[in-house]
Structure 1
């Protein structure tokens, strides 16, 4: 039975055996639990090992985790690890803050959800940035990292493992995740309501008159002098066998709020017909705005503690919150290969272009006619399957996947001009080769790909490279 008494017995057992150099053979289970409790209750972050999670989560619930890293690949991998390795009956609350990144849903199309060219250009430096410091509660004040040339803040593109729409994260956005049993009583609105209750008492300090959960389970707020409802939190969900994950964003004081619409407005929206999930655009706002990073941190800590108290009221009212035992801070050392290969593997997968782009469901692209010429193609898993070109002069050309020398990955096309006008075709024997040659010849004699057309395609499908 997983009760407060069970945890207390574990701690008492640790105390009673703390002076013994070894554990009696008759108490192997208690020995293991004692070792886990020692690691959990220490003040050293490095001594906490997630390898103990299956056992600890069986004996201790609820659990709260604070992540100090701002690496989105690491934070999402830790989140996935907690979901898949915790006991099915335990309840977990997780907090983390990411560096600037655009995060798309598991089944979304990155070319439809974001402006990849603008994303790769980065953001202007946050003038209010301050150096990294260890003086804050969870070590989560981060210095804005600039590119090597010092001109811009890079933006990561991340595909998460859960569904839902595309969101932007930065230092002014708090991410919270709740993991609970996947039972018939699970409702998608339950923990959004929890956050609203936590924030309602602070409405006067955060300059909003009202806050609520809408019919899409987004959290929206309205300012005292305005009638428009602004989205401050979106949610995504993942249901597994026995476990349910609800993770949400919370825009409390983003320095890049005005950049979000441009980053999440794809130039391909009028040209792509996708099979995956498309985001619903909503006007967004900050709960409160301050250019001072120190003040932002104070706001975040206040919000974090308000949510923790509400979560604890729901699931841990009969227990005491104990730092190191049921409320734990984790550092980025947990993602080292020799420390936790599962998390390290998750980080590697999320950072790969195979995951980022080649998980994209099948879609069609039609450029529309530009200077008398139109291009259309079909792609699946981010790979070109069929390409066609038509000119008002009557010239046309079609190519199938087999006509190219190698796979054409849309995120890695070096020259759309060369691809469109006949480069990178594969030599083939037989009637198909003759027909393809005839079509290519007819196209090359009839027209060229106009620069304006090529620019339209390149705007949607720029080559993706990481600085």
Structure 2
């Protein structure tokens, strides 16, 4: 549902039908007659409306009209769903389908989730086991408390950049503008946010803000004020990522204003395999983080979010709220602001957004977009496993090593062809290698998925199937249980996209 609030207007104040002017708000509360709706140029008549503060009287307009509508004025979108798959898909739809010359600001807040960049490795960037266990926020007596309640979402976005954690204390903003040197630089809209927030420092209790050389927004730590520290500590409150197309530029950023999970972010955004995976994609840069205005009171948190959102809206409008002769149009709260809920992802309403949600929700998108990488396990009882994975986490070669001091002996090494042979002719339970029918079933699934690491549900069974050759081995090759447990901790089996709410 698209609504645009006009709180300064009295209910059912009707305007005379008139031609739209550049100074006329396109999206106050609207009532467009069926006759007008059927006209070929209906989007250009959206200013012919009846203002109302009653949301039930608000006209719905198809989001597929966005290209025509966004041609006339800057727009501000507020997404009311907390579903990261919905929100990222709508954001992408706006990027692709808005007018090439338009300027659009978008806000959304996701439920607790980890979002990785387009070219990142999920096994490196996050603790998948902790995501699988889950951590949610329960609301009791209007105060946030930690609780375990099902798995957290792991989402791969379509833009580059690093890995971030989202929850209800993080506001996501994005700005979509023409991809020209005049309209877009990587620091432009981070600077916009700093200008918007700096006047709120005393009110919200944070200190100096600036944009650093990585285009992150950082806040001076309260413990390192100019009076007490010659070399201040700066805490990251906002990271940025970008998606550039031929004609459009998307800059989206996080904004930690009051996250109840601040102390957990660092451990969530570091996989247990961090020291053992050499990735070919983009690796996140770790930074100390902080909250702009921490409170554990949910009402106060909502008020803080509202104040911050309005400040950014005002600054955005100061930049782009100009009519055709470059005369500034005064900002009026609620005008040209559109509220979208999760129904936008309904296939009957917008199949493109529905398809985007479906894609982001799959394990194929989340894991199979991973660039190639190498894994070297820790040495446990003198035994070490090494493997190379091609793009998509496809096991390409693997080797088992024994170490004795400085000596390294390759016990068995399998290339791609040998891997395929061993997995299709793996030994059965009668060979005494400890494999059960259930274990071999898991190996068969791995084979059917062309050797994708994400499908491994039993690493012990897989390693036995790979390294124990009954034709030449009278006994099992020794692989320590502790080593298998470490590998399973780094590469757990995890379902993705199961929490479509």
CA distance in 2, matches of 1:55, 1:316: 18
CA distance in 2, matches of 1:218, 1:444: 59
Match of 1:402 in 2: 420
Which stretches in structure 1 are left out of the alignment for 5+ residues?
132-142, 424-435
CA distance in 1, matches of 2:459, 2:25: 67
Match of 2:129 in 1: 117
Shift of 1:124: 5.4
Q: CA RMSD in A?
A: 3.1
Shift of 1:35: 5.7
- What does 1:259-408 align with in structure 2 at a 5 Å threshold? 259-317=264-322, 318-321=328-331, 326-380=336-390, 381-392=392-403, 395-400=411-416, 401-403=419-421, 404-405=423-424, 406=447, 407-408=450-451
CA distance in 2, matches of 1:40, 1:415: 62
- Partner of residue 211 from structure 1, selected from 209, 215, 222: 209
Q: 1:65 to 1:39 in 2, by over 3 A?
A: farther
Shift of 1:368: 3.4
Match of 2:256 in 1: 251
- Deviation by residue 1:308-341 (Cα, 9 ceiling, x = unmatched): 0010011105225567761111111111000000
Shift of 1:379: 1.2
Match of 2:234 in 1: 229
1:63 aligns with 2:75: yes
Q: Judge conservation of contact 1:396–1:442 (CA < 8 Å) in 2.
A: no
CA distance in 2, matches of 1:189, 1:62: 20
Q: 1:165 to 1:291 in 2, by over 3 A?
A: same
Match of 2:181 in 1: 184
Q: 1:441 to 1:268 in 2, by over 3 A?
A: farther
Match of 2:21 in 1: 5
- Partner of residue 419 from structure 1, selected from 462, 471, 486: 462
Shift of 1:126: 4.0
CA distance in 1, matches of 2:374, 2:48: 54
CA distance in 1, matches of 2:494, 2:140: 29
Match of 1:86 in 2: 98
More off after superposition, 195-204 vs 346-355: 195-204
Shift of 1:395: 3.1
CA distance in 2, matches of 1:122, 1:229: 30
Match of 2:165 in 1: 168
Match of 2:437 in 1: none
Shift of 1:448: 2.0
Q: 1:320 to 1:334 in 2, by over 3 A?
A: farther
Q: 1:273 to 1:7 in 2, by over 3 A?
A: same
CA distance in 2, matches of 1:268, 1:443: 31
Match of 1:104 in 2: 116
CA distance in 2, matches of 1:78, 1:23: 24
Q: Judge conservation of contact 1:129–1:293 (CA < 8 Å) in 2.
A: no
CA distance in 1, matches of 2:34, 2:150: 54
CA distance in 2, matches of 1:19, 1:103: 42
Count of aligned pairs between the two proteins: 429
Q: 1:40 to 1:164 in 2, by over 3 A?
A: farther
Q: Judge conservation of contact 2:162–2:284 (CA < 8 Å) in 1.
A: yes
- Deviation by residue 1:389-420 (Cα, 9 ceiling, x = unmatched): 12347632425252334222212211100111
CA distance in 1, matches of 2:33, 2:376: 74
Q: 1:274 to 1:153 in 2, by over 3 A?
A: same
Shift of 1:206: 2.6
CA distance in 2, matches of 1:283, 1:21: 57
CA distance in 1, matches of 2:474, 2:119: 38
Shift of 1:383: 1.9
Give TM-score, length-normalised by structure 2: 0.78
Q: Judge conservation of contact 1:37–1:325 (CA < 8 Å) in 2.
A: no
